């Protein structure tokens, strides 16, 4: 079976100024380039169900399983924070669904 690799290179997504401001490695959170690009500097978003302004999920503060579930190859937000994060980060766009389906076929998801 072919192995699938995803590369994460923080220096590819952060400017020299941003990197120099990082005091500790725990300040970094693993994120794909697309999530990082969609998130940008946003800390909040609009909950698609209620229209309320909601903080985004933070992997250093919140537990994934409290806010999200993987339903086949779709990420479902269980809470306002989860729904908002799925929407802002565009976590279920067609390319991501395709990638998750491929990972699932190769038993890597």
pLDDT of residue 107: 86
Q: What is the pLDDT of residues 64-74, one digit of tens each?
A: 999 999 999 99
Q: What is the mean pLDDT of residues 28-53?
A: 87
pLDDT of residue 103: 92
Q: How confident is the model at residue 23 (pLDDT cuts 50, 70, 90)?
A: low
Whole-model pTM above 0.85? no
Backbone φ and ψ for 107, nearest 5 degrees, come out as 55, 40
pLDDT at 10 > cutoff 80: no
pLDDT at 83 > cutoff 60: yes
pLDDT of residue 2: 47
Of 9-13, 57-61, 77-81, give the lowest mean pLDDT range. 9-13
What mean pLDDT is reported for the chain?
Answer: 82
């Amino acid at each position: 079976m072919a192995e699938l690799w995803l590369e994460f290179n923080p220096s590819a997504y952060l400017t020299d100024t941003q990197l120099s401001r990082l005091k500790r490695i725990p300040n970094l959170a693993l994120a794909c380039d697309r999530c990082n690009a969609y998130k940008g500097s946003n800390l909040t978003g609009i909950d698609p169900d209620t229209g309320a302004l909601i903080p985004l999920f933070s992997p250093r503060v919140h537990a994934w399983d409290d806010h999200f579930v993987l339903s086949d190859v779709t990420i479902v937000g269980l809470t306002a924070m989860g729904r908002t994060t799925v929407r802002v980060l565009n976590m279920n766009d067609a390319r991501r669904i395709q990638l998750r389906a491929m990972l699932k076929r190769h038993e890597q998801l």
